[in-house]
Amino acid sequence: MTDVIHGLQDFLAWPSPLFMVLGTLLGIVFGFIPGLGGAQALALLTPVTFGMPNNQAMAMLIGAMGAVPFGGSISAILINTPGTPQNAATTFDGFPLTQQGKAGYALGASASSSIMGALFGVLVLTVLIPLGRPVVLAFSYPEFFMMAFMGISVIAVVSMGSIWKGLTAGVFGLLLSTIGYDPVTGSVRYTFGIDYLYDGIKIVPALIGLFAISESLEMMIKGKDLSSGGEVADTGEGVWEGIKATFEHFWLFVRCSIIGVIIGLIPGVGGSVSNFLAYGHAVQTTRKDPRFGQGDVRGVIAPQASDTAKDGGALVPTILFGIPGSVETAILLGAMILHGLQPGPRLMLDNPHLIYVIVFALVASNVLAGILGLAGAKYLARLTALPVNLVAPTIFALALMGAYATQGDWDDVVLALVFGVIGYFMNRFGFSRVPLVISLVLGAMAQQSFHQTLTSMGIQGFFTRPISLTIFLVTVLTLVTPFARRRRRRKVGTEHEAA
């Protein structure tokens, strides 16, 4: 209880609330503008927080992360263009409602389900954090290595598209994490005589390049307008009816929030999966007068509840074990490292009050985003009319400024540009950037824990400790299951053809 009180005091200590509000405003805008999202908002904000006290920095970053899902739903509902990939399913029924003159109804349902979904996710996070502390104390070097190994493996397997492309991106990120000083022996590796690389790949400029710069390059090269050309309807009417609709379909909201939390708990799966799973669940379980795809409010409530609830779930592995539950939390880990915080078990033991700053900021940002989004939806819609040749260079310039502002080093700008090009080509050829980010963040911990285990316990240390062995078996099962399913499908298909 003491940690909760201290966390609330740190969150309310001025100017933390101001930074939370600023982060929320930016999150709404980045969620609303198609092609951007939480990853880009956090990548640009991270260098801005350099030098801030930890509580203010976390309030701003979590404020942005919490506001993005609802911001993305506004453009999905009003102009049939999801602001972020995790809002894609919201377009299925959100935009048909707008075409029927019920934009306010859809936005009200989106705002209320987003706020309540976030509260549900935070409730789960708050319950699990105290229960997780005894578990954390049971962890040592082998468990840290196995958690890092599981995080890298799971993310590579569940990444969008080809499994082999996901594995390739994960291995590439792991290789990049070996550049610089060895964390145990102190030997220098793969620096090619470049002094800048002695400290390894810096996380913040790399993330800015992978997400902000690569997206701006994508916009400039494709040259497509942000808006799909749909007309924006009046958003002022029906808001309260939409809010009431969430309570009328309360059990659907609860079920979809649970889906979001579970998906958030699994590292690397992300909001896109939870969004579609929740929508599919709503379609499959609704028997009374279903109008999905034609303007059913349940098709808005389900994905939005899941989308915001997954943030609370994703923060569980991030806070307890230092394994990002989503790409946004991966960047959040990089920001924590920038501020001298050790994500995972050390964070719980050394800075428990900071965890509750994150909890309060996530709740406040979602509530504020819902209120501001409803009030300003009509005006936000005009942002998509901006020409891409204005938006893309602005983002590009801000990204370069952010990379330089981190430590005032021009080499950081060069690194951000290099990773911007890497991110662009990965996106173009269907390689997910998520495995690369996660393995880059977790690589150092994996290397250090591996060496420490071998030195203190030997190779048997990984398999003689119950928790370490259990994590290893779960990881193997996770890796083998997709291949087993694929083989079974082929076998069934062969039997059908023979019959």
Helix (H) / strand (E) element for 481: namely helix 466-498
Q: Judge whether 321 and 114 are in contact, CB under 8 Å.
A: no
**Start-to-end C-alpha separation, the chain:** 66
* R_g of the chain, CA atoms, integer Å: 22
Structural tokens at position 131? 């229960």
Block mean pLDDT (10 aa), the chain, length 499 = 73 84 86 71 81 84 84 75 70 76 80 86 79 66 77 58 74 86 77 82 78 78 57 58 84 86 67 69 71 78 84 77 73 80 73 79 84 69 64 77 73 88 87 75 78 83 84 79 71 64
Any idea what DSSP says for residue 209?
Answer: I
Q: Please tell me the distance from the alpha carbon of residue 226 to that of residue 30, in angstroms, as a whole number.
A: 12
Q: Which residue in 118, 435, 73, 67 sits closest to 261, CA to CA?
A: 118
Q: From CA 323, how far away is CA 339, in angstroms rounded?
A: 17
Percent helix, strand and coil across the chain, each rounded to 5? 80, 0, 20
Locate the domains of the chain by residue range. 2-498
Q: How many CB atoms lie within 10 A of CB 296?
A: 20
Give the 3-state secondary structure of 55-107.
Answer: HHHHHHHHHHHHHHHHHHHHHHHHHCCCCCHHHHHHHHHHHHHHHCCCHHHHH
Q: Which two tokens stand for residue 452?
A: 């420490």
The pLDDT value recorded for residue 230 is 46
pLDDT at 378: 59
Which pLDDT value is given to residue 137?
A: 62
pTM, full prediction: 0.64
Give me the sign of the Cα torsion angle 321, 327, 328, 331: positive
- The predicted pLDDT at position 274 comes to 72
pLDDT of residue 291: 72
Number of H helices, E strands in the chain: 22, 2
Helix (H, G, I), strand (E, B) or coil at 386: coil
The confidence score (pLDDT) of residue 157 equals 52
pLDDT of residue 154: 59
Q: Give the residue among 358, 343, 316, 359 at the shortest CA–CA distance from 128.
A: 316
